[in-house]
Amino acid sequence: MIEAKQEEMDVGGFSEYVLIPNAKLNEQVYSIPEQISSKTACLIEPFTVGFRAARWSFPRKGENAVVFGAGTIGIAAAIGLKFFGCDKVMICDHSDFRLEKAGTLGFAVCNNSREDLKTAAMEYFGTAPSRFGPTADAGIYIDAAGAESILELYQSMGKIESRMVAVAVLAGKRPVDVLAMTYSQHALIGSGGYFPVDVEDVITAMVSKKWDIESIITDEFPWEELPRAIEKASRVEEALNVIIRY
């Protein structure tokens, strides 16, 4: 048993220990199965955010999906979509390094800084009708990148009855073509945080070993080198998920 006064503890994202008053099992804290390594377990929290976005897209078995962003949340959302029964998933990003990591997990990838996403998606998914003619047969789009142009891109290429979930945080207002959204039967959904069911789903996915989730951890630093670790994590062409070892 560890006894400590709260004012004596440094509580923050990089604390070795955190005091959680009145914590309840499976609400604030969770028991991690032995099949999940400590290294993989440190990804549970960010993965729940991605799984929540995937769940909130209301995926139907056999649907196809596009995920913007090959960071931890984007990859988590892509794995969540497959977990919930989606057939094909394509991940888009501007970082070849991160896209290569996503590719090793079995996802189609597109560097949409130099490739035309609509063309690549139509080749991979096949075609479906939209208000503007044939488009990619993807019913789900997830924004885990936060670029301002993504909403407009979705509205221009989303097929009839498709949905887009925004999980990336980009403050500010952006225009939505409501008339186009109405005639296209599009849905725009916000997703933030997670719930206990999302934690349970992530743990189940990790136990299944279907995806090498630990492989997205590209770097590990001792806590004494925290500033160096943060600097490395900012280099999208060199790192994906960086963890701290205590």
Lowest mean pLDDT among 1-10, 44-53, 230-239: 1-10
Please name the residues in contact with 42: beta carbons below 8 A apart, sequence gap of 6 or more.
217, 243
- pLDDT-based confidence at residue 169 (cuts at 50, 70, 90): confident
Q: What does the alpha-carbon distance between residue 42 and residue 209 come to, in Å, rounded to a whole number?
A: 16
Beta strands across the sheet bearing 140-143: 108-111, 89-93, 65-68, 140-143, 163-166, 187-190
Tokens 């039967």 correspond to: 185
What is the pLDDT at residue 239? 94
Helix (H) or strand (E) holding 24: none
Contact 240, 98 (CB under 8 A): yes
The model carries a pTM of: 0.92
CA angle 26, 15, 38 (to 5 degrees): 55
Residue 4 pLDDT more than 50? no
| pLDDT for position 73 | 97
Residue 48: name the closest of 171, 206, 165 by CA. 206
Region 125-132: mean pLDDT is: 96
Report the C-alpha gap between 154 and 164 in whole angstroms.
7
Q: Domain 44-190 is in which class?
A: alpha beta
- Check residue 8 and report its DSSP letter: G
Residue 3 — pLDDT band, cuts 50, 70, 90? very low
50: three-class secondary structure by DSSP: helix
54-85, pLDDT tens digit by residue? 999 999 999 999 999 999 999 999 999 999 99
**Residue with tokens 């096949």, as numbered in its chain:** 126
DSSP notation for 173-220:
-----HHHHHHTT-EEEE--S--HHHHHHHHHHHHHT-S-GGGGEEEE
Residue-range domain boundaries for the chain? 44-190
Q: Tell me: pLDDT of 184 over 60.
A: yes
6-28 pLDDT, tens digit each: 455 556 777 888 888 898 998 88
